[in-house]
Structure formats: C-alpha cells, structure tokens
Structure 1
Amino acid sequence: MSAQQRIHLNPNAPRAPMMGGGGYTPDPTPSYRSTAQGTQDGFLGQVQQYSSKAEDFIEAYTQPIRPYVPALARFLIVVTFLEDALRILTQWGDQLWYLQKHRKFPWGLSHIFLFVNVVTMLACSSGVILKKFPEYAVFGLLGVVVAQGLGYGLLFDLSFFLRNLSVIGGLLMVLSDSLQNKKKLFAGLPSLSETDRRKYFQLAGRILLIFLFIGFIFQGNWSFARVIVSIVGLGACIMVAVGFKAKWSASFLVTLLSVFNVFINNWWSVHSAHPQRDFLKYDFFQTLSIVGGLLLLVNIGPGGISVDEKKKVY
C-alpha cells in the first residue's frame, strides 16, 4: 500500500519518526483492514465453495436426463397454449357466449377469433416442440398472448399481465436457443450479429421469467412460511435476472415452483362443476410453461450479458 493510500485511510495520523537504518515504523491501520478484508474474503470464499459444490451436485445428478431436458423444456413452455386450445374446443359454446355477451363481439367475428386462436396455438406449439420454424412459431404465440389479452379484456389485469410476461420470457428463451444454429434471422437488422441477438434475447428472457414469482409475492395472505419462501425465492430471482449462478438459482426456482404448483394449483382435486377449477387449471399450466423456460435456461445458460459470463473473462 502506498503512502498516499495510508494517508487517505487515516489523514490525521502523525508521521512516524525515522528509525535507524533510514526506515519508517509501519502504520498499524492497514493491518486491521487486512484482518477485516481477510475475514470478508474467507466468508465469500466459503459461499463460493458451497455454491460450487451445489453446482457440481446438480451437474452430476442431472447428467442422465440432460439429453432430454431441451425437448421437455420446449414442451412445458407451450403446454399452456395446448391446454388453452383444448379448452376452447371443449367449451366452444361458452366461449362464444362470453365473447358476444360480455365482450360485445359481433356474431361471426367471435367464431373467427376463436378459430384463429386455436389453429395458431396448435400449429405454433407444434413448431416449438419439433423445432420447425421456431422463430415464426414464437412470434405466432406472442401474437396469441396479446390477442387474448385484448379479446378477453385481461390485458390490464395484474395477475394475467405478470404471468404472461413470464410466459413471454420462456418464449424468448426458445427464440434464443433457435439462434444457436441459425445462420441468418431478421434480415432487416444487419447491424446485430446472431450472437448479439441471442445474448439480448437471453437477457430479456431471464428478466421476464421472474415476474411470475413477483406476482406470487404480492398476492395472497401472508404467513411466516410465505415470508421465508418469498425472501429466498426473490433472492434466486435476482440471481437469475443478473445471471449470477444462474443455472443453480434457476434449478432452485424450478423445484420451488413445481412444489408450489402441485400443492396450490391442484385443480384435479376440485369438482368438475366448480368454477374455481378452470382458474386453478389455467394457473397450473401457465406455471408449467414458466418452469419450462427456467429448464431451458439451465440447459443453455444465462448468455453473454451476465455475471457468470463476465467472471469467465475477468
């Protein structure tokens, strides 16, 4: 440490007198700082060590299923659209009645609206699962999200909005994954390379994926267990958003959301005539889609714009 740094640390400290041999007595201040710094480094080192062990554990025990994770993730991402298409077909009369009675759709336009939604969801979901024209499939499903929000009057409903932001995040992860082996996409944007586009889609996907959990934090009745889960989950969400230990934190959120989904959105335990059943079913499959997006994040990583990637450089 230079003399200027020592003076900055303790500007009022008297200068030490010269000793024999022309040296100075050492300033004791840095030793205290060194001790504190050593303690801090020791704590951070332990955290780093435990997190590395957790990552190694996840890597070791997920190795057998890793080849199947991308396909499972893509299926889970679009499962909410498949369920929605099936629900429209099985409740066609009720859907028409709602659109015409409450949303004031003219006769005929309501039929076209439902038909286009069903065809788009089935075709685009198949494209995502089979990796056929995934970029067009993703944009088709994004159009369905917006169209349904406007058509059913749910665009400004907070719960719907946050959940669909997370679903959009999962779709952006699919788009990012499709760019890995894609040579050319979006010819109108020549200034961005495929690698840059992939990084930006991964960043946007990571950030949007966490909005479901933010909605969970601000809804429902509070309890001690809910506070603990919210704090821990919010920490994991922040880690996912900034890309710090992203695979570990995304794996944790996959586990947390899966447990939450089974015990809270258990629509199968509700009588088929109960009106709450459809709402629980909708929430269940939307949560599965977000779990799929997090699984895809675990598989492809957080991308270039992340703390994990920067640590490799520095």
Structure 2
Amino acid sequence: MSARISLARPAAASGGYAPDPHGFGNTRSSSGYRAANPDDPLEKLRAFARTVEENVDIYSQPLKPHLPAIGRFLIVVTFLEDSLRIVSQWGDQLWYLQKHRHFWWGFSHLFLAINVLTMIFGSGAVIFKKNSEYAVGGLLGVVVMQAFGYGLIFDLNFFLRNLSVIGGLLMVLTDSMYTRKKIFAGLPTLSENDRKKYFLLAGRVLLIFLFLGFMLRGQWSIGRAIVSLVGLGACGMVAVGFKAKWSAAFLVIMLSIFNAFINAWWSVHSAHPQRDFLKYDFFQTLSIVGGLILLVNMGPGGLSVDEKKKTY
C-alpha cells in the first residue's frame, strides 16, 4: 500500500499538470465492440440488404394504404374464377362427378351448389372484411371438399398449390385480427396476440409450397436451376422470417413475371384443353401473390428472426 502511494505522489507534489489523472487515456486496445469494416464482404451484404429493405419501404409507400385490399382481392380471385367456371360448365361438371366420381344425381347438384355459393359469398366477405373468420372457414372447407370430391387429394402439384392457398387464407385471417377494433378497451389481449403470431407463422410457411410445386414441374435448364435456387432462398427467408418483407416483395415480382409468361392462358385457343389448366394455375398463383402482399404489409410477426433481432 505505501509503495503505491509513494509512486502516485511525485506528479502532484511537483506541481506539474496531470492531463489524465484518472487513466482514461489508456493506449491499450479495447476489448469491446469494434467499428464495422466497410470492406468486409459480410458487411457489404448487410448494407445491400438494408438498402433493398429501405427501397421496398420507399417505393411501396404510395401503395401501402391499398396493399391489404389488393392482397385480399388477389387471394380470393381464384375462388371467384372457380365459381364462374363451375356455373359456365355446369353440365360438364355434373357429367364428370356422376360418371367418374360416381356421385348420385341429386348429390352432385348439391355439391356444386354449395361450392359455388360458399365461394361467392366467402370471397365477397373477405374483400369487404365482413365476418372474415367465417368466410375463411367456409373457403377452407371448399378447398377440402374439392380435393376429395374431384379426387385430387393425391395429386402432388394440386396438394402443394392448395397448401399455399390455405396459407393465403391464413394471412387474411391474421390481417383481420391485426385490424380488428377492440371492443373492450383495456382488457388483456395476450391470447389474441398469440393467435396472430401462430397464424402468421403458419401462413408464411404454407405460402412457399407453391414454389416447391413449381420446382417439381417442367423441364430443367440452367436458367431454371438459377431461378429455382434464388427463389428457394427467398422462400426460406420468408419461412423463417429473415428480411421477410423484401424477400416477400422479391417473390411477388418473381411470381408475377413467371405467371404472366408461363400461365398465359389468354394466348391459348378457347377449345384447347390446356387452356383451363393454365387458367387454373394462373389464378391460383395470383392468390399466393396476394398472400405475399399481405406479408409485405404486416411483416413477419413475433415468431420470426426479424422480430428476435429487435429483442437482442
């Protein structure tokens, strides 16, 4: 103790100025955080991601008030098209159900009528945000009924596409929860928030199955392989909720371009049997685009990497 005191006293006793009496000017390197190196490839990637995310926010700003309405309409447009197709091909539908699916005469009529009415009223309720929970439940019932009624439950492409449609419907359900007005102010809403998070997680994961179906179809080429890898990476980011907004926006652009060129049903003659299949794929892809648009608007929710990064 006495040795340390004697060493510290000469500077003060000599009357000299001690510029750093508390030792703040320590020249040793700090073991704390260091400034980011702008030449680091990982830091460049992070800066690029931030720039893209900022641009998505900037350019989507004029459309942002309209994104929920656009997303909800696109999600149900496949149901509206399907109801119109059933009505316009009523005789063919009855013949198929009775001849190939062995439906009774009256039951086939009832099956088609229930499908058409549920799709029309359910889609209208989703678009105008009236009783969205019941509308989504009815449309989910239509997806299940048609899968079993038309015998397509074991068709892998149909199964994957309809999983994505279900994901879009779950996004509608989550959107209605986010925008629902509180009836009793001040009451705890923990369980409601938990439902939102889980529905949003399920919707995010299910939306990407359409792209998996795309990868399993058609002939492979170098261009297709590159697009598939990039799209699969974006789908993975959407599923885990990492940079979810701009990866979802990227998929919206990518699927829209793919849909316009690959599923161009309007360029096929009306008598060609392929026209109906292309039309069906086109409107189902629009439904997935609508779900992704709602994701861009709402964000990935609490069960996501983006949300966890805010916490830590």
Shorter-chain TM-score tier:
0.7 to 0.9
Q: Tell me the residue number matched to 1:89.
A: 87
Q: Tell me the residue number matched to 1:99.
A: 97
After TM superposition, give the deviation of residue 41 of structure 1 in Å.
9.3
After TM superposition, give the deviation of residue 42 of structure 1 in Å.
2.5
Q: Tell me the residue number matched to 1:198.
A: 196
Cα distance change, pair 157–41 in 1 and its aligned pair in 2 (3 A): farther
Q: Partners of 1:182 and 1:58 in 2: how far apart?
A: 26
1:58-137 superposed matches below 5 A? 58-137=56-135
SS in 1 for 2:105: coil
Structure 2: unaligned runs, 5 residues or longer: 1-35
SS in 1 for 2:130: coil
Q: Tell me the residue number matched to 1:297.
A: 295
- Name the TM-score, length of structure 2 as normaliser: 0.85
- Name the TM-score, length of structure 1 as normaliser: 0.84
SS in 1 for 2:40: helix
Query: For the Cα contact (< 8 Å) 1:165–1:209, is it kept in 2?
Result: yes
Query: For the Cα contact (< 8 Å) 1:183–1:194, is it kept in 2?
Result: no
1:128-207 superposed matches below 5 A? 128-182=126-180, 193-207=191-205
1:247-258 superposed matches below 5 A? 247-258=245-256
Q: Tell me the residue number matched to 1:241.
A: 239
| Deviation by residue 1:22-46 (Cα, 9 ceiling, x = unmatched) | xxxxxxxxxxxxxxxx889922221
Q: Tell me the residue number matched to 1:213.
A: 211
| Deviation by residue 1:261-313 (Cα, 9 ceiling, x = unmatched) | 00000000000000000000000000000000000000001000000000111
Q: Tell me the residue number matched to 1:228.
A: 226
User: Based on CA coordinates, which of the two structures has the bigger radius of gyration?
Assistant: 2
What stretches of structure 1 move > 3 A for 4+ residues in a row? Answer: 38-41, 181-185
Q: Partners of 1:121 and 1:145 in 2: how far apart?
A: 10
Q: Partners of 1:42 and 1:170 in 2: how far apart?
A: 39
Identity of matched residues, %: 70
Query: For the Cα contact (< 8 Å) 2:126–2:132, is it kept in 1?
Result: yes
Cα distance change, pair 183–197 in 1 and its aligned pair in 2 (3 A): farther
Q: Partners of 1:44 and 1:271 in 2: how far apart?
A: 51
Q: Partners of 1:63 and 1:181 in 2: how far apart?
A: 19
Query: For the Cα contact (< 8 Å) 1:127–1:134, is it kept in 2?
Result: yes
SS in 1 for 2:144: helix
After TM superposition, give the deviation of residue 66 of structure 1 in Å.
1.1
Q: Tell me the residue number matched to 1:24.
A: none
Q: Partners of 2:157 and 2:145 in 1: how far apart?
A: 17
SS in 2 for 1:108: helix
Q: Partners of 2:179 and 2:247 in 1: how far apart?
A: 26
Q: Partners of 1:183 and 1:277 in 2: how far apart?
A: 44
* Larger mean Cα displacement after TM superposition, 57-66 or 252-261: 57-66
After TM superposition, give the deviation of residue 191 of structure 1 in Å.
11
Query: For the Cα contact (< 8 Å) 2:248–2:296, is it kept in 1?
Result: yes
Q: Partners of 1:109 and 1:191 in 2: how far apart?
A: 44
- The number of aligned residues is 277
Q: Partners of 2:189 and 2:150 in 1: how far apart?
A: 38
Quick one: which of 54, 57, 64 aligns to 1:56?
Answer: 54
After TM superposition, give the deviation of residue 218 of structure 1 in Å.
1.6
